[in-house]
Amino acid sequence: MSRRAVAIGGGVAVAIGLTALGLEAPRLLERAYRKTPYDDLLGLLTDRDTAARLGRAARTPGFDAKTVAHDLREQLAHQSLGQVVDADIAKSRLAEVKGWVLPESLANLSTLAATAD
């Protein structure tokens, strides 16, 4: 086997390894958060810190984290977050946050992240 074949084969192995690492990198580099009763929901967020910043802006007086978490869990029992968000959009369940229009479930999830922060 020539050196070039070994180099190409090694390159493929490295590429496969980096791809596998890339799929796990967010979990490996993820900030350690304190445990909350909402970790099952907050784990759905790609970027919990950004969601929490949005949630601080979206929080309204009287926000009840337990009720919101219960409602989100019911919605997510048989649907993905994407499906729940799509349903919010289809049914015009939207929230305005500092000029941004968001699906209600996403705004609630973000606000939940802010309360757990």
pTM for this one?
0.71
Q: Summarize the confidence of residues 28-50 as an average pLDDT.
A: 83
The predicted structure's pLDDT at residue 29: 53
The predicted structure's pLDDT at residue 80: 95
Q: Is 52 within 8 Å of 113 (Cβ atoms)?
A: yes
DSSP, collapsed to helix, strand or coil, labels residue 25 as helix
